[in-house]
């Protein structure tokens, strides 16, 4: 479960991507995927959600802000990458499936409130629960399409390969200010602390 959560991260719909005139990283752009941009404004909005979910800033506010920004960019990139990998395999994750998954999770944890608290402890804001579940379902389907279980090492490897292929197909570019995308780890690696980056 933790591995799948790490791969999926937290969430924003692909509609958060705004049209971009080309593949260049123009001012105000955090990342570009297939000619569509993730604006810095979307990153800032996600950081605010993550900070609220975490209950505010820690004693080392600058380091925490660095981590939240990088996590926000990672989450937003993964939204698009997972969606592309799922679509490339002719798979879908419908609203009814997401609703059923939410009902099952609420039953498992004893209601909507307890589920929200559990997911909040993992950095998932209440408003993003359905998106979180949609990504988890997408990851499960990707593993199943490769004949694997997403909870196993083989399944994790299959999912990572699918996501790496999708990132390549999307011509993923991330603003160096936020770090470098690591396809093998399916995450954003810091090149330098964000407060030192140009």
For the cut 80, the answer to whether the pLDDT of residue 182 exceeds it is yes
**Could you read off the pLDDT of 115-125 as tens digits, one per residue?**
999 999 888 88
Distance CA 126, CA 119 (A): 8
Tokens of 62: 């600058």
- What is the C-alpha radius of gyration for the chain, rounded to an integer number of angstroms? 16
Task: Please list, in sequence order, all residues whose beta carbon lies within 8 angstroms of the beta carbon of residue 38, skipping any fewer than 6 positions away.
Answer: 16, 17, 18, 29, 30, 31, 32, 73, 76, 77, 80
Structure tokens at 53: 């979910």
Instruction: Tell me the pLDDT band of 12, cut-offs 50, 70 and 90.
Output: very low
* Residue ranges of domains in the chain: 2-189
Residue pLDDT, tens place only, 59-84: 445 545 778 888 889 889 998 999 99
Task: Report the distance separating Cα 146 and Cα 158, nearest Å.
Answer: 7
Which residues pair with residue 187 across a beta bridge? 182
For residue 119, count CB atoms less than 10 angstroms from its CB and return exposed for 0-12, middle for 13-18, buried for 19 or more.
buried
The pLDDT score that the predictor gives to residue 191 is 62
Q: Is 194 helix (H, G, I), strand (E, B) or coil?
A: coil
Q: For residue 145, what pLDDT is reported?
A: 97
Q: Is the pLDDT of residue 136 over 50?
A: yes
Q: Which residue(s) pair with 36 in the sheet?
A: 19, 33
Percent above pLDDT 90 for the chain:
51
Encode pLDDT of 138-180 as tens digits.
Answer: 999 999 999 999 999 999 999 999 999 999 999 999 999 888 8
Which comes out higher in pLDDT, residue 116 or 50? 116
Give the distance, in angstroms, between the CA of residue 131 and the centroid of all CA atoms in the same chain. Answer: 9
pLDDT tier at 55, thresholds 50, 70, 90: low
pLDDT at res. 186: 84
pLDDT of residue 183: 80
């Amino acid at each position: 479960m933790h591995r799948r959560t790490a791969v999926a991260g937290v969430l924003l719909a692909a509609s958060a991507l705004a049209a971009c005139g080309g593949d260049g990283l123009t001012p105000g752009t955090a990342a570009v995927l297939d000619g569509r941009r993730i604006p810095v404004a979307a990153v800032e909005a996600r950081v605010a959600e993550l900070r609220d979910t975490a209950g505010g800033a820690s004693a080392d506010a600058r380091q925490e802000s660095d981590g939240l920004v990088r996590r926000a960019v990672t989450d937003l990139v993964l939204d698009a990458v997972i969606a592309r990998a799922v679509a490339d395999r002719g798979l879908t994750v419908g609203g009814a499936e997401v609703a059923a998954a939410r009902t099952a999770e609420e039953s498992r944890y004893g209601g909507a409130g307890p589920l929200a608290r559990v997911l909040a402890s993992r950095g998932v804001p209440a408003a993003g629960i359905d998106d979180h579940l949609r990504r988890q379902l997408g990851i499960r389907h990707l593993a199943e399409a490769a004949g694997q279980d997403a909870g196993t090492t083989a399944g994790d490897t299959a999912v990572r390969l699918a996501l790496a292929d999708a990132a390549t197909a999307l011509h993923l570019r991330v603003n160096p200010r936020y770090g470098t995308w690591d396809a093998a780890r399916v995450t954003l690696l810091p090149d330098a602390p964000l407060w030192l980056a140009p």
